[in-house]
Amino acid sequence: MPNLVDWIKKISFAEIGKGLGLTFKHLFVKPITNQYPHQKRNLPDGYRGVIVHLRYDDMTEKCVGCALCEAACPSHCITVVSAEREDMPQKRYAKQYILDVTKCVFCGFCVQACPVDALASSKEYEMATGNKRSLIMDKEMMLALGDKYFPSRQKRPKYTEERLAFFNQVKEEGFPTAKKGAA
């Protein structure tokens, strides 16, 4: 047989009163919701967004076209076509660089594999589009995003002239040959 107190609780709807009390308590608390299009999130420094290309301070690109990023990518979303520079045949550059963002898993392996720090993870997360073909980024798009998110640039290293002069000297004079008596 139900207790008198239980019977009064059922008639007076005490549970509903408790729920309304909790609702009114939270009604007057300052909201923590960000109004998204107008308020952007503060992302941490280690956030891995869209991959971008970086430049030196003289606006030349850092990428040397080694394709280590392509080899390190687990989802095979990077394609690098490298070529030799005509003024310096010892140096290479990325003739074409294609990143398919629809396949990218944002793991950051390509950034870690780059020997010249030409790639970086941006804080870009607003990549929604109606056409998925616009998410296939080429080198120019990646350089533009790099300029946007990394405006301070590294100074270009001074290393080419003296080191490359040795190779040009060997090329002009020919390789030294071993003497017939030495084995």
Place of tokens 């010892």: 90
CB 64 within 8 A of CB 104: no
Nearest alpha-carbon partner for 90 in 14, 164, 19: 164
* Alpha helices (H) in the chain, listed in sequence order: 4-12, 14-27, 68-72, 109-113, 139-149, 160-173
Residue type, 115: P
Q: Is position 63 annotated in a ligand binding site? A: yes
Q: Is 88 exposed, middle or buried (0-12, 13-18, 19+ CB in 10 A)?
A: middle
Q: Is position 77 annotated in a ligand binding site? A: no
**Count, residues in the chain:** 183
**How far is the C-alpha of 25 from the C-alpha of 173, rounded, in Å?**
88
Q: Is position 114 annotated in a ligand binding site? A: yes
Q: Give the residue numbers of the binding site.
A: 63, 66, 69, 73, 104, 107, 110, 114
Q: Give the residue numbers of the binding site for [4Fe-4S] cluster.
A: 63, 66, 69, 73, 104, 107, 110, 114
